[in-house]
A and B are shown apart, each in its own frame.
Chain A
Amino acid sequence: MKLLTLSSPHTTRSFSTADVMRLVILALIPGIIALTYFFGPGHLIQIFIAATTAIVAEAGILKLRKRPIGFYLKDYSALLTAILLAISLPPYAPYWVTIVASGFAIIVAKHLYGGLGQNPFNPAMIGFALVLVSFPVPMTTSWSAPSELLENGISLSEALTVIFSSRESIDAFTMATPLDEYKHLVAISTADEILANPLFKGTEQSQILLGWEWVSAGFLLGGLFLLWKKIFTWHIPVSLLVSLILCSSIFGWDSDTNVPLTLHILGGATMLGAFFIATDPVTASTTHLGKLIYGAGIGILIYVIRTWGSYPDAVAFAVLLMNFAAPFIDQYTQPRTYGHKKAVRGLAKKD
C-alpha cells in the first residue's frame, strides 16, 4: 500500500478547462444555426477554415515551444478562438482573410504572449481587428444579404466559389450590415425612408431587421445558458448592455438622426460581444466591481465608435481597448476581504 502525500483539498470538482471551453462552444450553436439559416453556409465554411488554421498554428507553435501538443490541443481553447473569430468575420470574406486572422490570433495574440491564460488581449478580436484595418474592402463588402431577400438563397457551391476562388458573383448576394447601412443613410434620410429599404423588414420598429434579431437571440440564449452554468457571472454582459442602452437612449433617441436602440442591441455583434467576447475570462477584469466597470466601458466604447467612428461595427475595438485597462481596473476594484474594514487598492507600495 503506497500512500499519497498531498495538500488538501483532496477532492475536486471534475470540471476542467476543456469542459469550460466545450460548454462555451456548445452555447454558440444556437447563434451559429441562426447565422447559417439566415445568411447561408458562409459562416460554417469560415469556421472550418479558421478552426483548421488555428489548430495547425497551435500545434506548430507548441512544437516550436517544445510543449506537448496533444495535452494543450485538448483544452479546446484554440478551437473556441477560431469559432469566435469566424462568426465575427463577414461570412463571404475570402479564405485568406480568415487564415491570416486566425493564424495571427493564435500565433501572435496568444502564443507570443505566453499561451493560454497569459494573453492580455482577446486573440479572436486581435485577429479580427488586424484584418479589418488591413483589408477593409473584403471586410466591409462580404456581408451577406439575408437569404430571404435572395431568390434561391445561397448554395454551398456558390459560397465556396466566392470564398475560395472567384469573387465575381459576390455582388449578387452581399450587402452591408443593417447597422452600417442605417448609419450611412441616416445622414440623408429619415427613419421611415431607411426602413423602406429591403434590408429592413417594413416600418414596424419591433421587426426592423431581417434575420439579425434571430442571430442575436441565438447568442443571447447561449449566453444565458452559460450564465446558468456559472461559466461567467452576470456582471459584464449586464453592464455592457445597460451602458449601451443608456448611451443610445440619451444620445440617440431620435431615430431620424441616429441609429435606433433596437438596431444597436439586435443588429451587429452586440449580443455575441456581450456574452462571448467581453466575457473571455483571460482578458477581462476579474473582480465584481471591475467587471461592471469593464462591461460598461465596452458598452460606451461600442456606442462611441459606432456613432462617431468609421468602422461598421465596434465590438472588437471596444473590447481590445478595455483589455488594456483590465489589469489596472482589477488592481483598484478588489473586494473587501472578510474581517477587513477597507478593500486593498492597487499594488503594495514599496517604501
Chain B
Amino acid sequence: MTVILIAVAALVVLSLIFGAVLGFAAVRFKVEGNPIVEQIDALLPQTQCGQCSYPGCRPYAEAIAENDEKINKCPPGGEGTIAAIADLLGVEPEPLDAEHGTEKESAMVAVIREDECIGCTKCIQACPVDAILGAAKQMHTVIADECTGCDLCLDPCPVDCIDMVPVDTGLQSWHWQKPANLIATDKGQAA
C-alpha cells in the first residue's frame, strides 16, 4: 500500500514540476503576434490577384495559418510557392488546384491598347497595386514594372482593350536554361 502511495505521490510531484516548467516556458517564450502569417505572406507572390478567392495575398496567408486553408490555391506562385509553403508548414505539397487557375509559363504583364482606351478608369479602380495610370476621359497606361500580371483589370474593361503579354525575356534577364534531365537510352542518346 505504501509503495502505491509513494508511487502516486511521486507521479503527482513530477506532474506538478513539469506542469510548472511548461507553464513557465509558455509565458517566458511566448511568441508575439503570429509570425507564421508573415512567413507565409513572404512566400506568396504578392500579385494580389485574388485567384485564391481571398482579397489579396495576406488574407490568404492568414487563412492558411489560422483556418487550415489549403496551400494549393495560388496559381501565380505555382508549384514553387506550394513547395515553399509546404516546406515551411511541414505538410505535404499538393498539386495546384486547377479550380483557381493554372500556372502561367512566363510572367505576364498587362498592356492597354491605347488607341482603343476610352478613359473609363474602371481598370484603374480594379488594379490592386495601382499600376495603371490615367484619369477620366484620358487614355490609361500600365506601368509595366509594377504590373503583377494578375488579370484583374481585364474584366472591368468595357471595350476589351487590355492584353496580357508575356514579359519580354530580354538580354538583361536571359540566363542559361537548366540542363535538360535527359533519360539515357541504350544508344546513349536522349529519349
Contacts and interface: CB of A to CB of B under 8 A. Distances in A.
A169 to B, nearest CB: 46
Interface stretch (B11-19, B142-150, B153-161, B180-188): B180-188
User: Which secondary structure characterizes the binding site on chain B?
Assistant: loop
A68 B176 contact: no
A26 interface: no
B21 to A, nearest CB: 27
15 contacts: A7-B176, A7-B179, A67-B183, A67-B184, A68-B183, A68-B184, A68-B185, A68-B186, A69-B186, A70-B186, A71-B184, A71-B185, A71-B186, A71-B188, A72-B184
Interface string A46-75: 000000000000000000000111111000
Interface string B169-191: 00000001001000111101000
Most buried by B among A7, A68, A70, A72: A68
B31 to A, nearest CB: 14
A104 to B, nearest CB: 26
Nearest to B177: A7
Interface of A: 7, 67-72
Contacts of A71: 184-186, 188
Shortest beta-carbon contacts, A-B, top 8: A70-B186, A68-B186, A71-B184, A68-B185, A68-B184, A71-B186, A7-B176, A71-B188
Contacts of B185: 68, 71
A147 B185 CA distance: 47
User: Which secondary structure characterizes the binding site on chain A?
Assistant: helix
B40 to A, nearest CB: 13
B75 to A, nearest CB: 25
Contacts of A69: 186
Contacts of B179: 7
B144 to A, nearest CB: 29
Contacts of A67: 183-184
A7 B186 CA distance: 25
Nearest to A350: B88
A70 B183 CA distance: 13
Contacts of A70: 186
Contacts of A7: 176, 179
Nearest to A72: B184
A14 B15 CA distance: 68
Given A67-B183, A67-B184, A68-B185, 12 more contacts: A7-B176, A7-B179, A68-B183, A68-B184, A68-B186, A69-B186, A70-B186, A71-B184, A71-B185, A71-B186, A71-B188, A72-B184
A279 to B, nearest CB: 26
Nearest to A73: B186
A67 B182 CA distance: 12
Nearest to B186: A70
Interface in B48-87: none
Interface in B106-157: none
Contacts of A68: 183-186
Most buried by A among B179, B185, B186: B186
A7 B179 CA distance: 9
Nearest to B87: A350
A7 B177 CA distance: 10
A125 B176 CA distance: 41
A72 B186 CA distance: 8
Most buried by B among A67, A71, A72: A71
Nearest to B179: A7
A197 to B, nearest CB: 55
Contacts of B184: 67-68, 71-72
A7 B184 CA distance: 20
A259 B186 CA distance: 52
A69 B188 CA distance: 11
A72 B185 CA distance: 9
A68 B185 CA distance: 5
A68 B184 CA distance: 7
Contacts of B176: 7
A67 to B, nearest CB: 8
A70 to B, nearest CB: 4
